[in-house]
Amino acid sequence: MQTDIHFSTGTLAGYAISGVLFIVLPLIIAFFWRRYTHESWVVFIVGALIYYAAGTVRLMLRMLIFHEGSTLSSDPFWFYLVQGLLSGVIEETARYIAFKYPLKNRTERTVPVMYGLGHDWTESAAAGGILSFHYVLDGIDWNNLGAEEFTRGLDDKAAQSMLEGVAELAGRSFQDMLLVNLDSLGGTAAHIALSVIVFKAVQTGNWKRWLLLAIGLHAMSNFLRGYLPLPETPMRLFSLAISAAICFYSYRVYKSLPYA
């Protein structure tokens, strides 16, 4: 087993910078969006809180569906398909509820952009920011304590699995981190784009077309990102391509919405 694993300064710095960007970038974009459009921070906060509630429901359902011994967990196709559907149905329905009820009096097309930033901020901070700083702290501990301390008490199979995972994390270069952050920016844009589509569903009353479209796009993109057997760098590029396609379509929808 490979035990001479070391987190370089560049790799640790990359994780730290990624953590900061995951947390502050949606806030910075929201700040300039408010400055440009005078959109309210209340919309951002609603987006953040609604995503938190939706994420909690999704987590509970995942624990219920993918319990130990579940047949869905053993088949990659069904595992990623159900995961994608859970995210698509729950998150997009939550957006629809937000626009239809707490934000029902807001009809400006600037609203879904600010809402999408709030939605993305909660997800990015929780899933990306905290995890990145966790990698920094674990990397420093690994460099100081070594593989023996981390694998103490594990059987050979579990130890090998841990070493392979740590080796992958330690092997990421600073340039790899830049691609991760670029992919994250694409994810931010995709959340805004999906918010625009769901906002269209509320404004037109045609939820069968627009809400189902948003659910389908969200579910399918999550499924493909998880299921396709691509190495990390090609997968990041593929993910960016998906986000760009959703944004291109959504921009045409955005242009058709009224300013007020």
Q: Is residue 6 situated within a structural domain?
A: no
Cα 63–chain centre separation: 19
Q: Is residue 97 situated within a structural domain?
A: yes
Question: What is the largest distance, in Å, between two alpha-carbon atoms of the chain?
Answer: 63
The pLDDT of residue 2 is: 61
The pLDDT of residue 1 is: 52
Q: Which residue has the tokens 């994390």?
A: 169
Contact between 88 and 95 under an 8 Å Cβ cutoff? The reply is no
Nearest-CA neighbor of 203 among 99, 97, 113? 99
The pLDDT of residue 148 is: 86
pTM: 0.93
Q: Is residue 151 situated within a structural domain?
A: no
The pLDDT of residue 230 is: 93
Q: Is residue 52 situated within a structural domain?
A: yes
The pLDDT of residue 259 is: 67
Count of domains observed in the chain: 1
223 vs 87: CA distance, rounded Å: 10
Q: Which residue has the tokens 């593929």?
A: 238
Q: Is residue 12 situated within a structural domain?
A: no
The pLDDT of residue 152 is: 87
The pLDDT of residue 3 is: 67
The pLDDT of residue 260 is: 54
Cα 49–chain centre separation: 15
Query: Between 41-65 and 110-123, two packed helices, what is the crossing angle to 10 degrees?
Result: 50
Domain region containing 212: 25-125+174-255
Q: Is residue 240 situated within a structural domain?
A: yes
The two structure tokens encoding residue 256: 């058709």
Which residues of the chain fall below pLDDT 70?
Answer: 1-3, 259-260
Q: Is residue 132 situated within a structural domain?
A: no
Query: How many other CB atoms are found less than 10 A from the CB of residue 91?
Result: 27
Q: Is residue 169 situated within a structural domain?
A: no
